[in-house]
Amino acid sequence: MINILTGRRPSFTVLFSIFLAAFFGCLTISASAGNLPRPETPAGAAPVIVRGEVGTLIGIERGTVRMGGTALRPLQVIGGFSVTVPAARLAALRSLPGVLSVTPDGSVQLHSAYDPASDSYSMLNTSAGLGAAAAWSQGITGAGVDVAVLDSGVTPVAGLSAPGKVINGPDLSFDSQSPAVAHLDGFGHGTFMAGLIAGKDPGADPSNPGADYLGIAPDARIVNVKVGAASGAVDVSQIIAGIDWVVQHRHDNGLNIRVLNLSLGTNSSQGYRSDPLAFAAEFAWHSGIVVVAAAGNDGSGSGTLNDPAYDPYLLAVGASGNSAALSSIATAFIPSFSSFGDGTRNPDLVAPGIHMQGLRVPGSFIDQNYPAAAFGGRFFRGSGTSEAAAITSGAVALLLQQNPRLTPDQVKSDLKQSAVPLPNANAQARGAGLLEVLGGAIAGAVKGIPGGTGLVSSEDGASSSPWQLFMPSLGNGSLDKARGDDRVSMGGVALNGERDIFGAAFQSGAMAWAEAGQRSWSGGVWNGTTWSGTTWSGTTWSGTTWSGTTWSGTTWSGTTWSGAAWNGTTWSGTTWSGTTWSGTTWSGTTWSDGIWAGGSWE
């Protein structure tokens, strides 16, 4: 999960650290490396980029240095490094154990040619390796299924720009009162996830994909529920509010939200049975929505999955190597960043989550801070359980198109039963095995519905029954404990205690009761405060203190988050009334689909 800019925790905010489940996993990269001037290359020397298998890079780097390699720079986002080596040693370098590729390191043009067929980690090869492409050939493309992506927003870059492809839900982020950025993805994470799930290039034919970019469920729709700001800042209260909105409005005006992708999470300090975030996600599950949650990017160190993935009802997904890059199941591996369970609650399965090909948002936070991850002009590399969760959400959409009568428990059962076992991987990290779309899940759904094809296992996988029987979450615990270690802050003052982003008291028991009755949202009001649909000007921060420091007198217009000013727009003078959205209504407010004011993203 993330801890998004790993290794550096800015003081200004939580950086979707509420783990936006790790865009870069536990990988680090020097943001300035791509801007350094390239030294002169001596005659007879060859500047190259070397990519290696996970776990082998240190050995490859040492071998390269012994060969006379110089000017070595890590490029861990792409799983490799750049180096200058004697041209005569290139063959020896390519023969080092674990080396995947050695390619010339020259000047890169933004719109350079990219061949997905030659890239083991491309979506073309990922889809083929998982069986999704075979499902497409049968007409199973996710059509008719809506996937809610609760993330940092979605920008309509190519692949997500078709009319009706992305439907805007509420913008509950700190960007929401600036029309120029509302719903858009200034961070870059949400667009990446949406592309993995349901991206589709204009004119692309899933039955004959070729070089076009296609997500796992290319004909599914994305419902964009933005909670993360351009800086990545987000609070647990925003995430809970977003989940509640999805539950209450899953069938509004032709919507058919059957999947909720949560490529985020926290290291909550309380169990799932009392945790309010886990309760909200679990209630979505019981309401007929398959909740796919990233397991986390803490490796074996934490001994637990992140919140809400640690709730045993949900579909918790860890990361694996890309199935298209495997020579055999015996060589399958779990990357070191993918979180382990505790032996009782482990990931349910794993899915590709390293070096993934996602859609790039030019100028976004991650685009500016990780320039080496951009390639092919419009694509971006990312690794983490975020990506694995998104891939799985696409697979769920395929399964639900094939048989819409499946319950969340049956979907989870089918996917676990059809997963490819990974006997050489750690049991606490691998779950039931590697996601396989057609090999069992789709085929099984044809044979065995409505009863489902498999049996949902208990938490430890030791027994099975036709439905899940776990102790339910009560949601009566602490909102502050649900935040874990990371939280939003302003002026060095963190948001602590049992209060939401408006400073309104949060009573978890009362909120759980309202959620259970699908009453937590009413007319744009959540937890007693108007979050959307009207103006925030009537809500003042004065008199509300966070940790003894008042917010009064502080305007958002003068505040910068991660060095990026909020477009000079104050929250209190901007209204949402009169803003048109698209033909979809919610609580009497008109929504819109295709207006992205001020967003020049091409």
Where in the sequence numbering do the catalytic residues fall? 151, 189, 386
Cα–Cα distance measured from residue 462 to residue 84, given in angstroms and rounded to the nearest whole number: 52
Contact 77, 372 (CB under 8 A): yes
258: helix, strand or coil: strand
Residues 6+ apart with CB under 8 A from 381: 77, 78, 121, 355, 356, 357, 358, 373, 374, 375
Residue among 213, 266, 312, 249 nearest 15 (CA):
266
Could you give the C-alpha distances from 165 to 219, 448, 481, in angstroms and in order?
8, 31, 37
Secondary structure element (H or E) that encloses residue 54, with its range: none
Cα–Cα distance measured from residue 241 to residue 170, given in angstroms and rounded to the nearest whole number: 10
**DSSP percent split of the chain into helix, strand, coil, nearest 5:** 25, 20, 55
Axis crossing angle, helix 508-516 with helix 276-286, rounded to the nearest 10: 10
Residue among 62, 68, 113, 292 nearest 197 (CA):
292
Q: Are strands 374-375 and 379-382 parallel, antiparallel or unpaired?
A: antiparallel
Q: What are phi and psi of 301, to 5 degrees?
A: -70, -40
Size of the chain, expressed as the number of residues it contains: 602
Could you give the C-alpha distances from 48 to 67, 101, 357, 382, in angstroms and in order?
14, 10, 21, 21
Residue among 152, 142, 185 nearest 290 (CA):
142
357: helix, strand or coil: strand
Q: Are strands 379-382 and 356-359 parallel, antiparallel or unpaired?
A: antiparallel
